Amino acid sequence: MVRFLGRSWARSTSRPSGLRARPRRDRPGRAHGRRTQQVPHRPAGRQGDGEQPPGSAGARSGLGGRSVAGQVFLLQVAIVLLLVVAAAGALVLQVRHDSTTEARNRSLAVAETFADAPGTREALSAPDPTAVLQPRAEAARTGSKVDFIVVMNTDGIRYTHPKPDRIGKKFVGTLGPALAGKSFTEEITGTLGPLVQAVVPIKADDGKVVGLVSAGITTENVGGVGDRQLPLLLTAAAAALALALAGTALVSRRLLRQTHGLGPFEMTRMYEHHDAVLHAVREGVLIVGGEGTLLLANDEAHRLLDLPEDAEGRHVLELGLDAGTGALLASGHVVTDEVRLVGDRLLAVNQRPTDLKGGPAGSVATLRDSTELRAVSGRAEVAREHLKLLYDAGVGIGTTLDVTRTAEELAEVAVPRFADFVTVDLAEAVLSGEEPDAGTSLRRTALSGIRKDAPLYGVGERIGFIASTPQAQSLGTGEAVVAPALKEAHGWLAQDLERTAQVVEYGIHSLITVPLRAGHLVMGVANFWRSEKPEPFDEEELALAEELVARAAVSIDNARRYTREHTMAETLQRSLLPRNLPEQSALDISYRYLPAQAGVGGDWFDVLPLSGARVALVVGDVVGHGLHAAATMGRLRTAVHNFSALDLPPDELLGLLDELVGRIDQDEATEDGSAAITGATCLYAVYDPTTRQCTVARAGHPPPAVVRPDGSVDFPEVPAGPPLGLGGLPFETAELKLEEGSRLVLYTDGLVEDRERDIDVGLELLRTALTGADRSPEDTCQAVLNALLPPRPSDDIALIVAGTRALGADRIAEWRVPSDPAAVGEVRGSVTRQLTEWDLDDLAFTTELILSELVTNAIRYGTGPIEVRMILDRSLICEVFDGSNTSPHLRYAASTDEGGRGLFLVAQLTERWGTRYTPAGKVLWTEQALP
């Protein structure tokens, strides 16, 4: 109907000849068919003058050219045929032209290459040039896929030819340009037939032409490509022609079927029929122009809207309609079955624009009298509101994976559209992510209402429902319960006589209690309370409440499961992170660790005391979240602990970690070879307080920041290195000289980068937050988090701020020891004097014994230079340097062995001892507890 009306309107201002103007309508109540033209009955089997039904022989002959469809068909066939023939011819000519051009280029390239080849020019002066050049020419001809390569002298006498009987004879072709020193190509008929050939000069060092080389391809081979492609081109052209003919035939037949061969007279009569139907239907039809002018209104529209006689041609806002209806018709907005009250009638309005597919501007509206459906429409509106409520619940409930927030969303979405007050009571186990136990003791999790002073249990209160209450019944049976009149619900009144009396007095009179079920689990109940609307809850509203709560229960259970998994992962992660930092004197350390809100990740950090009063700082990040990331983080942290015990340089330690991550990926690969690749980054720094030197290496991790004592901040250039797990690429270190009182800042990318902030912006914010002198590491940590911490971190954040300290020269003693056993005594004397100066006489004997053994081993088994260093820190540290890379090993000496007991004594007299390697050799070190 709308399609027809749009067409009718398009003809309303300029009707075709033969279409009479519609006379004035009678007012409502008069016969609608009075003004309709009577259409003569057409005998069966006759469609009009010369017209036959679709599918008849006449319709089939419509493609023969007598109809417009047939003429269009023939014209399209001719055009397609010409295009196909022209395209095929052009393709053939193009292929042959390209083949000839390719033959010229290839012949010229082969001839020039052979002419410039080593030995070609020298062979011309040989006693027998043919013996030298003929094998080379034939090999080059076969490899380059040309038909001949001919080498000749400047007189054109051939030295080579594919046919040996032609050697020694005159070359057929033009030689002048080549003798003048220019390369050229030509098409001639030679001894091999029509061909394309190139002639190239062979020049001596002084530029003189000493010979010529010709290479060519016969015309048979040049055109072979085009000839071979010709059948394919003709086949494609035939297929294209067939498809085009078939498509043209289908389009023409469709045009023939749709027009039925109608002429102008038949089309005029068809519009008269449509005009008659328009004013006879029992549905109001209005056509409104683009500027709001009423162009057409049928009799039923006049009756339903009580339009004046001269309504057509006037603006719809001037027709005496109510403001809402007039504005709707003038706007042209799309509406579908919009029910409007016009006078005492309830009209269903449908409206569509007419310019969707290039038609004239305006709209078509239809009106249907649905007054008898007034009562039904009220119920339909209620049902629509209920469906809208369920839709909003699906969108608004479960936006987060937080149990409490999900319960609050359920309460908020139902107030006030369904209930005046909503409360949600959940088992405490659900709030912590566990499965609830059987029982009726719940905690009020959410409360929402139209007012804040309702005498209901408050949020957070623990409620134990007695067996007679609707809540207890819902928890026990798993079914919803409705209490239409609370003042008569004795089971509910018995819960708390004082509070329930206050609730009834407040005006709350009806209740629906629905259990929050997820499978077999009953997690709690949702209570819907009514006070404003006098009618109690009915069975239809009970079904709506059940549907609403069922959707919310799924989200609450998902949040519960997530809470459990998140708690487990966070517990695992916390257990894998350091709980207390070890005691050391090199750095003053403060740190922060904040897990992501969305899920536990794999960030970690560590502070590891090393030999020689040094301290290692580690910060790492495993890509991803959840238990897998936390477990991988634990494995890497344990590996770093083990590798650091070997006193490895930072770059070597990262290399071992890289191999470990690669093995983790191999171990976790499935049978089909698919596995989640473990991605991780790490930064490892070693600070030595005796030299204030910090050695740093990183594997794809953000660079460290250094805050100088004057408060300035810089990000040292530390080679980035690839992330762990890529394998095959080395890591590099950077040496930083840190003044005492500097602050070394290490962090993970969650601090400086998130979805809304690029890492460069984050680094600038970090620089600003760190700038400033006279701040302790603890204050620095807090300032950084205040400036950069997002409201809901999407990634873990690990932050370490280490204030550097330095060991004074008065706490370090060093001696150079000659490679002479007699020097051991001098070392003992120096050690005794130094310990006396440090007031450590009690350690003199053991220290002398330890250093005597270590120095003796260095002199006997090592190489120079040999040095001894003692450091007074939290313990007494003794170190012996030598140039050997051989490390001694602890063993049990047999009773007959003369040696092998020295390291055993050292191990017994010290708390710790070990070996570390340096670029110049190794260091044997020991630590003794201070008295």
Sign of the CA dihedral with 916 first, then 918, 924, and 928 last: negative
Q: What percent of the chain is modeled with pLDDT above 70? A: 83
Band of pLDDT at residue 599, cut at 50, 70 and 90? low
Higher pLDDT, 39 or 216: 216
Which of 28-37, 437-446, 573-582, 831-840 shows the lowest mean pLDDT across its residues? 28-37
The pLDDT of 819-838, averaged and rounded, is 88
Distance CA 604, CA 748 (A): 9
CA atoms within 13 A on the CB side of 233: 19
d(CA 121, CA 111): 13
* Token representation of residue 514: 């629905």
Alpha helix stretches (DSSP H) within 696-804: 759-770, 777-788
Is the model's pLDDT at 382 over the cut of 50? Answer: yes
pLDDT band at 614, cuts 50/70/90? very high
In this model, does residue 28 exceed pLDDT 70? no
Is pLDDT larger for residue 539 or for residue 704?
704
Looking at residue 45, its pLDDT comes to 37
Sequence-separated (6 or more) residues with CB below 8 Å from residue 93: none
Give the pLDDT of residue 27. Answer: 39
918 pLDDT band, cuts 50/70/90, is confident
Each residue's pLDDT tens digit, 317-351: 888 888 888 888 888 888 888 888 887 787 888 98
Beta bridge partners of 878: 870, 926
What is the per-residue pLDDT across 389-405, written as a single tens digit (0 to 9) for each? 888 888 889 888 889 99
pLDDT at 823: 85
**What is the residue whose two structure tokens read 């890379």?**
885
Q: How many CA atoms lie within 13 A of 371 on its CB side?
A: 7
Q: Where are the beta strands (DSSP E) in 490-561?
A: 510-518, 521-530
Select the more confidently predicted residue: 356 or 842. Answer: 842
Q: Are 461 and 428 in contact (CB under 8 A)?
A: no
What average pLDDT does range 414-424 have in this prediction? Answer: 92
Q: Tokens representing 120?
A: 């070609």
Question: Contact, 831 vs 843, CB < 8 A?
Answer: no
pLDDT of residue 885: 81
- Sheet containing 734-737, strands listed edge to edge, beginning at the edge strand earlier in sequence: 601-609, 615-625, 680-688, 693-699, 734-737
Q: pLDDT tens digit string along 748-783?
A: 988 888 777 788 888 999 999 999 888 899 999 999
Q: Which residues contact 887 (CB under 8 A, 6 or more apart)?
A: 915, 917, 922
User: Is residue 358's pLDDT more than 80?
Assistant: no
The predicted structure's pLDDT at residue 738: 94
Task: Match 């608004």 to its residue by tokens.
Answer: 396
Element housing 399 (H / E) = none
Exposure string for 864-882, b = 16+ CB within 10 A, e = fewer? bebbbbbbbbebbbbbbbb
Instruction: Give the pair of three-digit tokens for residue 550.
Output: 């069922």
Q: Cα–chain-centroid distance for residue 109?
A: 51
- Note the pLDDT of residue 507: 92
Choose from 4-13, 77-86, 168-177, 516-525 the range with maximum mean pLDDT: 516-525
Residue corresponding to tokens 């969303």: 409
Pairwise pLDDT comparison (616 vs 902), residue with the higher score: 616
Q: What is the pLDDT of residue 53?
A: 44
Residues 6 or more apart whose CB falls under 8 angstroms from that of 112 comprise 183, 198, 200, 213
Cβ atoms within 10 Å of 543's Cβ, excluding its own = 12
Q: What per-residue confidence (pLDDT) applies to 914?
A: 87
Question: What distance in Å separates the CA atoms of residue 127 and residue 207, rounded to the nearest whole number?
Answer: 23
Separation between Cα atoms, residue 424 and residue 409, nearest integer Å: 10
Question: In the chain, what are the helix, strand and coil shares in percent, each to the nearest 5?
Answer: 40, 25, 35
Confidence (pLDDT) at 630 = 77
pLDDT score of 553: 92
Share of the chain above pLDDT 90, in %: 29
Q: Are 422 and 448 in contact (CB under 8 A)?
A: yes
Tokens of 123: 């062979």
Question: What does DSSP assign to residue 758?
Answer: -
The pLDDT score that the predictor gives to residue 265 is 59
* Residues with Cβ within 8 Å of residue 586, at least 6 apart in sequence: 613, 614, 615, 687, 688, 689, 804, 805, 807
- Rounded mean pLDDT of the chain? 81
Q: Give the position of tokens 């280029």.
A: 105
Q: What is the mean pLDDT of residues 734-760?
A: 89
Check residue 257 and give its pLDDT.
66
pLDDT tens digits for range 122-156: 888 888 888 888 898 888 888 888 888 899 988 88
DSSP 463-496: EE--TTSHHHHHHHH---EEES-GGG-HHHHTT-
Are residues 124 and 210 in contact, defined by beta-carbon separation less than 8 angstroms? yes
Residues 246-280: tens digit of each pLDDT:
777 777 677 666 656 555 556 567 767 777 777 77
Q: Give tens-digit pLDDT for 552-590.
A: 999 999 999 888 887 777 777 677 777 788 888 899 999
What type of residue sits at position 776?
S
- 33 has pLDDT over 70: no
Containing 606, the helix (H) or strand (E) segment is strand 601-609
Name which of 538-547, 674-683, 791-800 the model is least confident about: 674-683
pLDDT at res. 376: 59
Locate all alpha helices (DSSP H) within 712-817, ordered by sequence: 759-770, 777-788
Cβ proximity of 923 and 914 under 8 Å? no
Task: Average the pLDDT over 855-870 and give the result.
Answer: 87
Q: What is the mean pLDDT of the segment spanning 694-711?
A: 94
CB 295 within 8 A of CB 288: yes
Contacts of 918 (CB under 8 A, 6+ apart): 881
Question: What is the average per-residue pLDDT within 872-895?
Answer: 78
Please answer whether residues 274 and 283 qualify as being in contact, where contact means their C-beta atoms are separated by less than 8 angstroms. no
pLDDT of residue 574: 72
- pLDDT over 60 at 6, yes or no: no
β-strand 921-929 against 912-918: which pairing, if any?
A: antiparallel
Distance separating alpha carbons of residues 44 and 50, to the nearest angstrom: 14
Helix axes 403-414, 539-576, angle to 10 degrees: 160
Tokens representing 358?
Answer: 């290039």
Angle 576-402-620 from CA coordinates, rounded to 5°: 25
The SS3 assignment for 171 reads: coil
The 10s digit of each residue's pLDDT in 490-518 is: 999 998 999 999 999 999 999 999 999 98
Residue 64: closest CA among 197, 200, 249: 249
pLDDT of residue 867: 92
pLDDT digits (tens, 9 = 90+) for 193-231: 788 888 999 888 888 888 998 888 886 665 555 566 667
Residue 472, Cβ density class (10 Å: 0-12 exposed, 13-18 middle, ≥19 buried): buried
What pLDDT sits at residue 373? Answer: 60
Give the N- to C-terminal CA distance of the chain in Å, as an integer.
Answer: 105
Question: What are the φ and ψ backbone dihedral angles of 680, each rounded to 5 degrees?
Answer: -155, 150
